[in-house]
Structure 1
């Protein structure tokens, strides 16, 4: 294989951000509504010995407000409807909706409200806030990266780790990890 072909394959395998080098969080100033169109909230929980559980929430909404003068005064609020959880396995979905985990009949929403936003780069920030689930609230931290800004739409990639035990959802530990890994794509539309 030629050196040129190896270089091309190496370049194609590198992660590429879709945010332009000329775009920053300050350029995205405004209020955005988050919906399920193009957005996703995915999660995974590791299992002792390998495997684990992964899924997504089908219904959620929220707002992102970016302060162009001071990104630190920005805010985020996300509401997840746990009855929309999906793993591709009906029996597991029913168990997750039950009072053993989400108790979606009595606790129909999971809400995250930011308390601070700290800029860590031109297109990145750390978002701290309070997550409330099953009537319990706890501080949580997520990292966010602005992936694109175009025609009144922003796209963020957001990741974080949440301890299930803080919310009374630690059934199955230690076989299933207490840590839930979140991987989200949040598309916001101005307005």
Structure 2
């Protein structure tokens, strides 16, 4: 489940670059550092019969470089710290951090590194890359939509779906979905 969450976060970061490039590359070109204080990485996992699990990651970092001459050469790098997972339920948070899911003690980081960025409209892009969680790496894709660009600050809304079983986090299936839905708001500061 959490691997999907991390994958979505990474994808969100990647999508943010293409969206910016699609709107105005001359204004958006450059390097940005993701500001965790004004960003969020949320996830949800469905459950048979309704309900499910919603949560977020409190600690993450990322960088976005937008190439104004070739959007495809833009880059997104993202790291999520799984020990920062929060659902509002202490017992579930501890379970998610355990070796049954994130194994945060032995795998303290989930990383996403973009491999390509493809503009899909004037304000959206598809960010493809490699997501690594629990020592396993797979190709993942996220959609990013430019939410704003003002005064050296850029904002993206990133969404995506990740199969948690690929990363050895399939505990609870099929009662809990194998699909983790990511919904991220990423704000980056130029510099």
Band of TM-score, shorter chain: 0.7 to 0.9
Query: Which residue in the other structure is 2:125 paired with?
Result: 125
Query: Which residue in the other structure is 2:60 paired with?
Result: 60
Query: Which residue in the other structure is 1:10 paired with?
Result: none
Contact 1:25–1:122 (CA under 8 A) maintained in structure 2: no
Structure 1: tracts of 5 or more residues without a match:
1-18
Alignment pair present for 1:186 and 2:172 = no
Q: Counterpart of 2:172 in 1: which secondary structure? A: coil
1-side partners of 2:114 and 2:64: how far apart? 10
2-side partners of 1:145 and 1:99: how far apart? 34
Q: CA deviation at 1:75?
A: 0.7
1-side partners of 2:153 and 2:69: how far apart? 19
Query: Which residue in the other structure is 1:35 paired with?
Result: 35
- Report which structure shows greater RCO (CA 8 Å, sep ≥6): 2
2-side partners of 1:25 and 1:79: how far apart? 25
2-side partners of 1:129 and 1:23: how far apart? 22
Bigger fraction of residues in helix? 2
Aligned pair in 2 of structure 1 residues 168, 65: CA closer, same or farther (>3 Å)? Answer: same
Instruction: Give aligned pairs, total.
Output: 171
1-side partners of 2:23 and 2:132: how far apart? 33
Query: Which residue in the other structure is 1:147 paired with?
Result: 147
Q: Counterpart of 2:156 in 1: which secondary structure? A: strand
Off by >4 Å, runs of 4+ in structure 1:
none
Q: CA deviation at 1:25?
A: 4.9
Normalised by the size of structure 1, how large is the TM-score?
Answer: 0.87
Normalised by the size of structure 2, how large is the TM-score?
Answer: 0.87
Query: Which residue in the other structure is 2:115 paired with?
Result: 115
Query: Which residue in the other structure is 1:102 paired with?
Result: 102
Query: Which residue in the other structure is 2:159 paired with?
Result: 159
Query: Which residue in the other structure is 1:3 paired with?
Result: none
Query: Which residue in the other structure is 1:15 paired with?
Result: none
User: Greater CA radius of gyration, 1 or 2?
Assistant: 1
- What CA deviation, in whole Å up to 9, does each residue of 1:112-141 have, x standing for no partner? 000000011112100000000000000000
Q: CA deviation at 1:26?
A: 5.0
- What CA deviation, in whole Å up to 9, does each residue of 1:44-78 have, x standing for no partner? 00000000000000000010000112111101011
Aligned pair in 2 of structure 1 residues 115, 31: CA closer, same or farther (>3 Å)? Answer: same
Q: CA deviation at 1:35?
A: 2.6
